[in-house]
Structure 1
Amino acid sequence: MIQKTLLLILTVLTLQSCNLGTSGTWNNDNIDKDKREQIKVLNDKLFKAIIRNDVTGIKALMSDKLLEKGASDLDKLINQVSTSFKSDSYRILDEYNVHNSTTGIGNTLPSGVSGDSDYVVNYQALNKEMYVSLLLPTGLDNELLITAIYGNYDNQWKLNILQFGQYSLFKKTAPDYYKLAKESYDKSYLIDAVNYMGLSKQCLRPANDFFQYQKEKDINEFYEKVMKEVNSKFTFPLTLDNVDTKPKVFRIFPEMTNEGFFPMVYYLSDINLKDTTALKIENEKVKKEVGRLFTGIDKDKKFVFYWAFNEIPDGKKLVEHYGFIDKRTE
């Protein structure tokens, strides 16, 4: 069937301040129970306000300094976030209570050092006492991380930093996709490795500079390695010379479906999109050639998707395509 192409993006919000001093940190069950309960009340209010697109409710939780910095963009941001997921509850990934000897110092909060999924939260402390909550809406395959960093203003907790970002895709985080990419690379499945690394990068900074995985350097270096290798091996658009109609593959990427991510192959065809019989004949040849050229792309997967175009989309207008689904046996 002929369909039209669509694109989707996402966003964020912040605040910062530098000094010298010391700090003590408590996390999760080591935090004072009464204090955890105080913050839970605020987190509940924050989460309800987010899912209800209640900007006024969120502003009531924000510090004056954050209101000065981010109020103008808040309406648009919360509207985007509130419509991006459906959930009526959240779980706590981790939380931290920090006591500083002075204000304006950097707080560095590691969840661990050597684990594959260990991370560090970094920010400038505007208050002597800070509280970090990392919240994940429940019931989602594609998890959004809500980073709420509070400061204690004369025994009243207020939000200093509020961030939203992609934490996982189909319950897999950046380190998870990095691991899959390395496994694919070891099998010489270069396109799979590139696709997995693309997904890893999407989840790599779920709170911008405030959240960094301990293995981020390794992930970025491996991403550069596979991208350099794929770019040296293939030049797109790539003409499929072994196919008589000479179609040109111009893009391969992971397509999201209800069952997960599967390869999508975009190619340019000289056959009119209305001539579906000729397109199907050509596509059978395209599938074989794509499987030959891009090792592993059709292995260990339920589907490979193909879209035939008569012109390469330039991002400025909708371009028609004709789609094929290659159902594979896993």
Structure 2
Amino acid sequence: MKSTLNLFKLLSLIALFIFQSCSPEIGIWKNEKIEAGHRSEMGQLNKAVFEAINANDDKSFSNYLSSEMLEGNLGNKLFSTLYVAARKDNFVLADEFYAMNKEALHDTIPVADGKNSYKIIYGGEPQEVYIATFLPKVKKANQYMITLFYGHYNYGWKIKDIDVALYKVNGKTSPELFETAKSAYAAHNVFAAANNLQLAQTCASPNKWWKYNTETDLYATYTQVISEVNKAYRFPITLNDVSSKPEIVRVYNTSFDGGTFPNICYVTRIKLSDVAALERENAEIRKSINKVLPGVEKHVDQVVYSAYNDFPDQNVALKHYDMKVKGL
């Protein structure tokens, strides 16, 4: 009887050893740390996916989607977004992650990258996942990121989710813009601070799973600074130091090829057809604008001034004259 029990224990230990050795290893691997076979397999899959996107072939693209994506018709909804992004830029792989999840409901991938450190927080099903991020090959001031999120199902590797979102504004990530905003605020340039905080928010989530370590501080600082600006400055603001007494009615951010910059809208008494007089007036405005709106021209490459003869109405397109100037 004793020998039978010992044999049973031995067989149990052997079975446990075999089970453990065959079980997938829990962990997270990034870029070159991913096993070569996995990396090659997923690289080929990424290539096929982008070939379908670039060819505007939504039927081929659907072959790479999970059953959940197909059932919800999510793939078709996202395909046009991917196609538009891919037409504007040639996207190349930035980072890739392979993970064997330890949690069923959610899991986290921490990524250490100095001030740009972040976490990828996602649902833990299926257990085996692969995440690939792509950025434009040719760097621009404003850059979008494409993220493909794969799951390993019993019917193979399939895309379980996709995202396309802003990664950089004016060549800076959200934490980098946040640093600029804090420097501006410390120098009492509150409009420069508010501007950069707004930009930092627009690229705070390069994909829906991405959370910068600075995110909580960013939103708290944004709330504080915007509250201060709204209390201290009420539009319209008359520029009494300018001979023509123009009125600043609005400041917002506008985007064009060079990036995203402040757009200062004002009402002038000078006719829009008199371009020479408008530009002389604008030169006067620039001499006092950073005192009236502290730092509005600072920490940016360009500023756009829009001159109107009537108060702008968001519901009506009014004639105006735009002037782009260098920031300070």
Normalising by structure 1, report the TM-score: 0.82
Question: Quick check: 1:80 aligned with 2:84?
Answer: yes
Match of 2:94 in 1: 92
Partner of 1:180: 180
Could you say which residue in structure 2 is the equivalent of 1:108?
Answer: 108
Whether the aligned pair in 2 keeps the contact of 1:23 and 1:107 (CA below 8 Å) is no
Checking the alignment, whether the CA contact within 8 Å between 2:53 and 2:79 is kept in structure 1 is: no
Query: What CA distance in whole angstroms lies between the structure 2 residues aligned with 1:223 and 1:318?
Result: 30
Task: Indicate the RMSD between aligned Cα atoms, in angstroms.
Answer: 2.6
Q: What is the aligned residue count?
A: 302
Contact 1:134–1:148 under 8 Å retained in 2: yes
Partner of 1:229: 228
Gap regions ≥5 residues in structure 2: 1-24
2:20 maps to what in 1?
none
Distance 1:233 1:312, change over 3 A: same
Q: CA shift at 1:41, angstroms?
A: 0.8
**1:143 aligns to what?**
143
Report the residue type matching 2:132 in the other structure.
Answer: S
Q: In 2, Cα distance between the equivalents of 1:215 and 1:299?
A: 23
Shift, 1:125, TM fit:
2.7
Q: Distance in 2 between matches of 1:300 and 1:223?
A: 17
Query: Comparing 299-308 with 39-48, which one deviates more in the overlay?
Result: 299-308
Check conservation: 2:105, 2:124, Cα contact below 8 A.
yes
Whether the aligned pair in 2 keeps the contact of 1:55 and 1:74 (CA below 8 Å) is: no
Of residues 234-243 and 72-81 in structure 1, the stretch that sits farther from structure 2 once superposed is 72-81
Residue 163 of structure 2 corresponds to 163
Aligned to 1:9: none
Asked if the contact 1:52–1:82 (Cα under 8 Å) also holds between the matched residues in 2, the reply is no
Runs of 4 or more consecutive aligned structure 1 residues displaced over 6 Å after TM superposition: none
| Structure 2 CA distance for aligned equivalents of residues 130 and 301 of structure 1 | 40
Q: Are the equivalent residues in 2 in contact too, given 1:53–1:82 (CA < 8 A)?
A: no
Q: Distance in 2 between matches of 1:26 and 1:78?
A: 26
Identity %: 28
Q: Deviations over 1:226-279 (max 9, x none)?
A: 211211221122222333443221222344455555443111223331233443
* Structure 1 segment 200-239 matched on structure 2, within 5 A: 200-208=200-208, 210-239=209-238
1:241 is paired with a residue of what secondary structure?
coil
> Partner letter of residue 84 of structure 2?
Q
Q: Summarize the alignment of residues 267-282 of structure 1 with structure 2, pairs less than 5 Å apart.
A: 267-282=266-281
CA 1:215–1:291 in structure 2 vs 1: closer, same or farther (change >3 Å)?
closer
1:23–1:100 CA contact under 8 A, matched in 2? yes
Alignment of 1:46-65 (within 5 A): 46-65=49-68
Structure 1 unaligned spans of 5+: 1-21
Does residue 41 of structure 2 align to residue 38 of structure 1? yes
